[in-house]
Structure 1
């Protein structure tokens, strides 16, 4: 039964007829139908037309469904399973679970930077400070002489320190220079093993034979181990077995060189380098710029960080 215009001009003399009652009851029944009830929507929240209760409810239901689908897709993109059919409580639980599988902690993130882990927002406290990694650095120069050059240094923990040697030389009529080894002979002394061979000795040549030395001592808490060794080779490479290390936390230092100088300022330079082949093998690589092979002395230091 369709809506009928109600009688609005009743007087005390008017009697209620059967038709009046039928109209009133019919209109009451019609009012119970959502499709016929208008929504004022003074704030303009809905776009339905006509703005009946039924249309507005359908619009709300569609928005909710689309919203839940978007939320579920966002959760899924963050590595968690979710569906538009999940309840709001379920979706809320899954949102809070997004960062529960994160492995970072405050000490892994720079101080002042924020991140999410364990279901909550956190602030990093990692401070990049050179003093947290390097305890001390010492350096100096020394003249070149045959044999072992002993150099006094400030005391260091030799199990947490390395030695770097940077040789340099000048022209001579005929000589052979080589760097064999460098090691800690005491906590307050390094020994650098060097040598030369000269067909026609010339004391002035030693003025130009020098090297720069550096001692780097690391903070003890960042070093897991330091392995060392030395040797010499004629081969293009030599493999050395070491105690196993974590390749992603280790760095290899290899030093060793020889220079042969002849007439007309002709120089032959040979050098050693190195790389880690696997967790328990390092390889010394040998470079020779001459047609005839010369041997090269080398020493290596392998630092594994904690």
Structure 2
């Protein structure tokens, strides 16, 4: 492959061919290139699951679009992974001006003896609002945890052949392991998972209006989580898998102590409020017992939007002068009769 030749979506290459063009670390699943501004990500589900790596192109979906999961590096005998080396290459790729290029192992050249063929899936970028979470490694005896990065496709991608997509083997969840099913499920499911910090590090390189709103939302959730902690309230989030879907959804924040589900938005405009209302009603169908519902905003909305929120028996909490107006949330409307 010539150095000037661009990668073709859906084409396959060997590691040797890619390293000859781009350079980078040999024998690593995550490799900063020495030629060009890239980070090469190699996924091999047939091998990775034996080391606690569960990569998926169909991990979850939200109002923005699809999210892929890519496991960080760090061998099982080294214990819990750390944010270093290749893992920081993913986390900081925007700061460094690098693109994430994902490759998927799809068999070998010349049968079982040749080098692995790497299917070029396409370009990805780390999610701005929730970059990663920690997942428990079920094959580890020492409670090892693995960093799982949430990646969004940039432009078109080409999926590997279905024969090389992982088969769902997990049907349960833990609080640090969303464990998405990869095939449509017959019954809806949900599980509480831990909140991660959304805004500890601002690694946006080229901000757009959409990115700014996403980061504002993440920072708002972080501040509200800290506020709840001062009130001795436990905050987590739900991971819900609607019936008939192979992708699930993560909610913004759930006050476990008060049994209140919050949907946060980075703007207090009409589109944001209308979207939040729909999301809350959608999520509540999968959570038992049904939680109280509340919208979390960075500022007070206009009176008409307040009336809209009240008309559907949803509570409003917004930030003002360093505190949160509307908290604590109290049952009202139909919820007021629920014991």
- TM-score between the two structures when normalised by the length of structure 1: 0.20
User: Which one has the bigger strand percentage?
Assistant: 1
The structure having more radius of gyration, on CA atoms, is: 1
